[in-house]
Chains A and B, each alone.
Chain A
Amino acid sequence: MSTRDRDRLPLMQGTLDVLILRILIFGPQHGQGIARAIKESSDHELLVEHGALYPALQRLEEKGWIAAKWGTSSNNRKARFYSLTRTGRERLVRESTKWRRLAAAMSRVLGPETEPR
């Protein structure tokens, strides 16, 4: 791994699913797009190993939270596009509430930043 990657945060167990669902709320997207979107919307803080993304997508698809269809990307490449299903949307609402509460609680416990990075 390059030094650049080493500074990033590895994903905690169970967070990837929520992130994928969140990204898909803006419309259908293929795997590579999802990976890039996670990276960009987290200000390059989160590290997603692309290889781990696909089993996760597969899992979500099997749970029926997302649906997939082969299509063509903007630069005319064949890609598998994922979109949010209704159950996926409900799931996202529930999960993101949970995560927000967790994050808020965590930051309350940890208090204001004492040490500058």
Chain B
Amino acid sequence: MISFFRRHRSREDFASEIEAHLDLEVDRLVADGWSRDRARQEALRAFGNVALARERFYEKSRWVWLEQAAQDLRYAWRTLRQSPSFFATTVLTLMVGIGVTTVAFTVFNAYVLRPYAVRTPSSLYQISWRSPTSGGVGFRWRDYLELNDRRDLFDDVVAETSRFVSSDGQPLAAVLVSGNYFEALGPRILLGRAFTAADDDAVVVISHQAWRRQFASAPDVIGKEIALNGRHFTIVGVLRPEFTGLGGFPQDLWVPLSVYAPIADPDLIGPQQARTLELVARIREGVSPDQVKARLSSFIQHAVEAPTGEQPQAFIEPATRNSLSLQMLAVLSPVFAAFVLVLVTACANVSNVMLARGVSRQREIAMRLSLGASRGRVVRQLFTEGLLISLFAGLGAVAFASVALRAMVAAFFGTLPPAVAGILRLVPLDLDYRVFVFTMTASMTATVMFALIPALQASRLSLIDNVRGTGASMRHGSKLRHALVIGQVAVSLILVTLAVTLARNGAAVGSIDLGYQSAGVISINVRGNQDDLIRHLVPVLAADPRVAEVAATGGNPLFIRTRSVAAAPGEGSPARPVRYTFVAPEYFSILRVPIVQGRGFRTDEARLAASVAIVSSATAKTYWPGVDPIGKTIRIERAEGRPVDELPGYTQLTVIGTAPDVVSGLVVDGADPGHIYLPITADDPHATAALVRGRTPRDLDPQTLQTIFGRVAKDPQVFEALPLDEMRDLQIYPLRAASWVGFLLGALALGLSVSGLYGVLIYTVNQRTREIGIRVALGATGTAVVRLIVSQSARLAAIGAGIGLVAAGGSLKALSSVVQLQTISLLDATAFAAGVVLVVGAAALAAYQPARRATRIDPSQALRADV
């Protein structure tokens, strides 16, 4: 209580108390018979040092800390201004290190940490169902209407389904939503308004990204029209950038389901309601998800179609976009580690510079210590300098990250296959307060690591050692500095080796022979569940004059949709899983795959889905080694607990031909270990995709294809057209991108270690000037002096490279036991050699200038110098 009400005393108050004391004492002494003058002298004598008493009081006061901090800050600023090159080097080095980490964190933040930009996201739950063997998230419009009336459980229920729509041939990511969507979720609007359940006009709300991309952020966009699948919609609102929809994929626009449904395929609110709507509910306060689950059981029974004999159950899970799981952290941590390694290298550099500076400032520090500064005060001073550097570095890092992110996004979209870049959306990579806090914390932590430790190091010195300018502490310091450089070299070797490994693997995978001619062939898949649209599309394509060839398939190569079935060569032999694909007879000619033995499928075989097969050379070889496979039979077994599919209606297949081995799945997996082709036509229910080749490569541009698709479906974007070559690029893209990032990080780390090594060597030359001078005076040649410096550089680099090699080898070996892919070799001798060559080159580069300086030492001057 007392301390709560106590007001802090001012210095004036304290001074007047002392004055009062002196007056009282004088009064007393005068009363004892002293003269006033002598009494005053005596009072002052008895008091002792008035100034000291005031000083003590002052140092107790709480403001002194702040005042000293301000002093330290001013002093630090002056000191740093006096050595601008030191200041610039450390700030820039840290800026890059922290900036790189900030980039990684921003992406992590955007995809994982950032919550939904809606009202109370924690009360939003997605409703789905599960049964022992099945499950789903799709519901009908009438199910939505029923649930939305359940006020006992929910505040609101919204329905949404997303799809791509065509806007003048360009794909846009659209969400068809129930009218209450915006009222229920409450995302913030930037311009105009959101639509409500009362809107039954053709209106649309667009995302901030779409506004920027499609309308160049035009402020007068409200009221403008946008064509969606040929119909005109009026833009009524633009959302703020932080809301990109409820899923992980950022959306471009939102349209009322009730308005869009009649032009959709199939009609979502008409008599035939497809189960495609996803339901997100805001659960009432006080109602638990388990209660909802229990009370929705009868609803689920009649709303969904579970396999016969199974009881579907409601499933209620938070509708949060990404939940941070340990598993995800485990996957992401090595990636983040690579970024942090660069920061560590940068910190090591700064620490090194700081140490060198600390040593050269020993005399200054010694002077301050001997003039009465406390050790704590000196440390605080050095710490303040570090803090100032970290402040600038942190702000610089934010700027660096913002520029780097923009460049990275541009590079990302620039290097992606065009067809993919057109439909890919990234969540906004904003530098929000979380990123800012992260960056500043990283910066401060780095300060403690690189500034405080050298500060302690510097102030640990005894006075005598300092004034002499020599001592054990310096030797200790240089040991630490060497360790730092060795660490840097090791880190850059790891990163460079990793980058080269990735790049070489990317190139190797890129040059794998697919076994067919992918150039000019466009793959067409159907989005959603309307596979039967292929049957309508193929004849339209075949009739188009711009189309040279078209083939329906049960799954296009490279799209990772191949399936396996248990098959055996004839009676008696065991069945093994083997890939199969349904293909139209034109499949082989469109891909320029020759039939090696036997013949291709005939049209009548395709029409009847006859039990004939073309097998790949590998299959022929494994099934019938050394024997002509034509006319042999393949027995199809029923799947019994095996990881293969059922193939109803097929028991025996007669081999009529063989085709070469091709790559049909992941390019990194290489050619198929076996493959069986079965004949179909576009009318077959197994036909789910198509391949098409234009008369010339330019005949079938995206615009043309959209027009053709529009003849078949109301939603032309229901077809996804992607050139096979781009699909191949897309598959290799992660490898390439990872190697680019690795190269960038490796180059940064390498640059940092060169400058770190350089710093150590220059420092050595300065410290050993006198020694080198003596050597030269005693007849040492220039070569001998150069050898002195170069050998130090080489020794540090060699130890660092050794550690780096072991670490890189160890981690890649561990990784290769996890990643078992034929075409990927993680332990690549060339990559290691390249890493070593680069590091050795870096060591030589770093040694060049210091060695030159050493040879220029003039013995007569060096010996006279005051060391």
Contacts and interface: CB of A to CB of B under 8 A. Distances in A.
Nearest to A56: B56
Main secondary structure of the interface of B (DSSP, over half): helix
Contacts of B9: 58
Interface string B28-69: 100000000000000101111110110011001000000000
B62 to A, nearest CB: 10
A54 B56 CA distance: 9
Interface stretch (A20-28, A72-80, A102-110): A72-80
B3 interface: yes
B190 interface: no
Interface string A13-44: 00000000000000000111101100000000
B23 interface: yes
B20 interface: yes
Contact of A77 (B2, B23, B45, B46): B23
Interface in B2-20: 2-3, 6, 9, 14, 16-18, 20
A15 B808 CA distance: 65
A65 B60 CA distance: 17
A35 B21 CA distance: 10
A58 to B, nearest CB: 6
B27 interface: yes
A77 B56 CA distance: 25
Counting chain A CB atoms within 10 Å of each CB, which of B18, B53, B57 scores highest? Answer: B53
B24 A51 contact: no
B566 to A, nearest CB: 86
A49 B50 CA distance: 11
Contacts of A80: 17, 20
Contacts of A75: 24, 27
B430 interface: no
Contacts of B3: 62, 64
A87 B2 CA distance: 10
Nearest to B8: A62
Nearest to A36: B28
B20 A54 contact: no
Given A49-B48, A59-B60, A67-B2, A54 B21 contact: yes
Given A49-B47, A50-B46, A58-B57, A79 B24 contact: yes
A67 B1 CA distance: 12
B24 A30 contact: yes
Counting chain A CB atoms within 10 Å of each CB, which of B6, B17, B23, B27 scores highest? Answer: B17
B21 A78 contact: no
Nearest to A88: B2
A32 B25 contact: yes
Interface string B663-697: 00000000000000000000000000000000000
A64 B3 CA distance: 6
Interface in A46-70: 49-52, 54-55, 58-59, 61-62, 64, 67
A2 B45 CA distance: 10
B614 to A, nearest CB: 94
A30 B57 contact: no
B14 to A, nearest CB: 7
B14 A30 contact: no
B60 A79 contact: no
How many residues of A sit at the interface, in one of the four size bands? 20 to 34
Contacts of A58: 9, 14, 57, 60
A32 B53 contact: no
A96 interface: no
Contacts of B14: 54, 58
Given A32-B24, A77-B23, A55 B47 contact: no
A51 B52 contact: yes
A28 to B, nearest CB: 14
B2 A52 contact: no
Contacts of A33: 24
A31 B21 contact: yes
A110 to B, nearest CB: 31
Given A75-B27, A77-B24, A54 B18 contact: yes
Contacts of A36: 28
Given A58-B9, A67-B2, A75-B27, A50 B57 contact: no
Contacts of B6: 61-62, 64
A37 to B, nearest CB: 12
Contacts of B48: 49-52
A77 B27 contact: yes
A2 to B, nearest CB: 8
Nearest to A80: B17
A79 B27 CA distance: 13
Contact of B46 (A49, A54, A64): A49
Given A49-B48, A77-B27, A30 B60 contact: no
Nearest to B2: A64
Contacts of B56: 55
A75 B29 CA distance: 13
Contact of B21 (A2, A50, A52, A67): A50
A50 B56 CA distance: 14
A73 B57 contact: no
A45 B426 CA distance: 85
Given A49-B46, A51-B47, A58-B14, A30 B21 contact: yes
Given A36-B28, A50-B46, A67-B2, A79 B20 contact: yes
Nearest to A66: B2
Counting chain A CB atoms within 10 Å of each CB, which of B16, B43, B48, B60 scores highest? Answer: B48
Interface in B448-471: none
B21 A32 contact: yes
Interface in B406-465: none
A106 B14 CA distance: 38
Contacts of B25: 32, 35, 50
Contact of A73 (B16, B24, B53, B60): B24
A52 B27 contact: no
Nearest to B20: A79
Contact of B20 (A2, A35, A52, A78): A78
Contacts of A30: 20-21, 24
A39 to B, nearest CB: 10
Contacts of B45: 1-2
B21 to A, nearest CB: 5
A58 B57 CA distance: 8
Given A58-B57, A85-B2, A50 B23 contact: no
Nearest to A87: B2
Contacts of A78: 16, 20
Contacts of A32: 20-21, 24-25, 28
Nearest to A79: B20
Contacts of A35: 21, 25, 46
Contacts of A85: 2
28 contacts: A1-B45, A30-B21, A31-B21, A35-B21, A35-B25, A36-B28, A49-B47, A49-B48, A50-B25, A52-B53, A54-B14, A54-B21, A54-B53, A54-B57, A55-B53, A55-B56, A58-B9, A58-B57, A64-B2, A67-B2, A75-B27, A77-B27, A78-B16, A78-B20, A79-B17, A79-B21, A79-B24, A87-B2
Q: Which 9 pairs of residues, A with B, have the shortest CB-CB distance?
A: A51-B48, A32-B24, A50-B47, A51-B53, A49-B48, A55-B56, A64-B2, A32-B21, A80-B17
Given A35-B21, A51-B52, A75-B24, 12 more contacts: A31-B17, A49-B48, A50-B21, A54-B17, A54-B53, A55-B56, A62-B6, A64-B6, A73-B24, A77-B20, A79-B17, A85-B2
